[in-house]
Amino acid sequence: MGRIMVSINYKRLFNLHLFHNYYENGRPTGIHLHPAHQTARKMKGANMLFKRIPGGVVVLYRAGEDETTPVVELDPDQRFTFFITSDHKTEFQNITQLDLAPDDRFHSGSILHFSNDPENPSIDPDQPEGIFHSILDGTRNTVFNYFFQIDGNPDVVLLQVSNDEGDLISLGKTVDGSPLPTSLTLEKTDEDTYSRRLDLQNQPAGRYTVTIRNEDDDETLKEETFYVDDRLASRNILGIAEIKYTSGTGHLYGATEEYRLSFTRKETIWTYYIVNKNGNVIFDDHDLEITEQVTNGSPPVQFSVDGDQPNTDIKINGQETVIFKSQTPIPFTDRPKASLRLLRNPGSIELVGNLPNPSHFGVEKVVNGIPESEIFVFI
């Protein structure tokens, strides 16, 4: 009897690409996507595969003989959750623009959150749906103690928690098992603080917002958003990415969707401190300038002297300085600028042929709300 060949067909559900314009090829290094526990279980039960591809990941489902109909069909309302890790988290944060606004900044303990628009998916590989991040205030276990302070120290405040859909939820149960109300009254302690144990064990993993309102419930005093998941709360993750499907769109088993998580490179004003270490250049007698030689047709970066030449306010180790600032912020890139020159005038005599670029591990200053990178050059 001859052997019967069985063909197993897998069709791509979606491609999820990673993009970072810091890198010349657009592909960030050391950034990884992993299916969250509940998503990994869902995919296993639905005969789905999670595969890594250059620049991202792909999710496939097992299809029948027509190569389209799923062998195991999921409900059309679905959410696939992935957590994001970085091999070099500090360097990634140094090269990436994570702050969204002066009052929406990435801080220690923050995580990134990405979520697609299920109403407007793209099936064009050349034009994937771009997904950009929001900032969450961290991860939490399903049961956690929430401590906080409020400006003005009101005697009484209200605490509310809403889910990802914006619906207020109960914050646990009473001793007899009845659900707690969706708004709890908290009194100030003698230390001018407030606290409450929050129990979300009966809620699905996901994004939850804690809102503090005044006693009359007509003013928001404080708001924080967390990703609640017992398995992720103890992990050092960079962020969360969620791909959502809704029944109204019917996209779950349609054409392969294309998504792209997009990261934006940081840009800073470059500030050069030229330090007269050896005394070979008389700052009072010579004018210094920084120029960029470009060959690709792009406009050169322009630098201006900050203050006098030499600077009358700043000396380093007792030595004179000339300070240059770029006139516009310069974006970070994995290809350093190798054509910045320090010249002495008159005569455009080259003192330094290739000025160093700022370190991506350097301390970043913020001056008048604009980030600056400092570079010290001793001549």
DSSP secondary structure of 30-92: SEEEEE-HHHHHHHHHTTEEEEEETTEEEEEEEE-TTSSSBSSPPPS-EEEEEEEEETTHHHH
Question: Cβ contacts of residue 86 below 8 Å, gap of 6+?
Answer: 30, 31, 32, 92, 238
> Length of the chain, please?
379
Which of 80-94, 192-206, 243-257 comes out lowest in average pLDDT? Answer: 243-257
Q: What is the model's pLDDT at position 316?
A: 92
Retrieve residue 99's tokens. Answer: 């702050």
End-to-end, the C-alpha distance of the chain in Å comes to 86
According to CATH, the topology of domain 143-228 is: Immunoglobulin-like (2.60.40)
Give the whole-angstrom CA distance, residue 367 versus residue 270: 12
Instruction: Determine if the pTM surpasses 0.85.
Output: yes
How would you list the strands of the sheet with 56-63, edge to edge?
Answer: 48-53, 56-63, 9-20, 257-263, 129-131
Structure confidence by residue, pLDDT tens digits, 103-117 = 899 999 999 999 999
| Average pLDDT in the chain | 92
At residue 7, the pLDDT reads 65
* 156 vs 72: CA distance, rounded Å: 52
> Looking at the predicted structure, is the pLDDT value of residue 5 above 60?
no
The residue type found at 301 is V
Which one, of 158, 118, 110, lies nearest residue 134 by Cα?
A: 110
Cβ contact 335:24 at 8 Å:
yes
Number of H helices, E strands in the chain: 3, 26
| Range with lowest mean pLDDT among 102-106, 139-143, 216-220 | 102-106
pLDDT, tens only, 78-130:
999 999 999 999 889 989 999 998 889 999 999 999 999 999 899 999 999 99
Q: What DSSP element (H or E) covers 159?
A: strand 156-162
DSSP state of 176: T
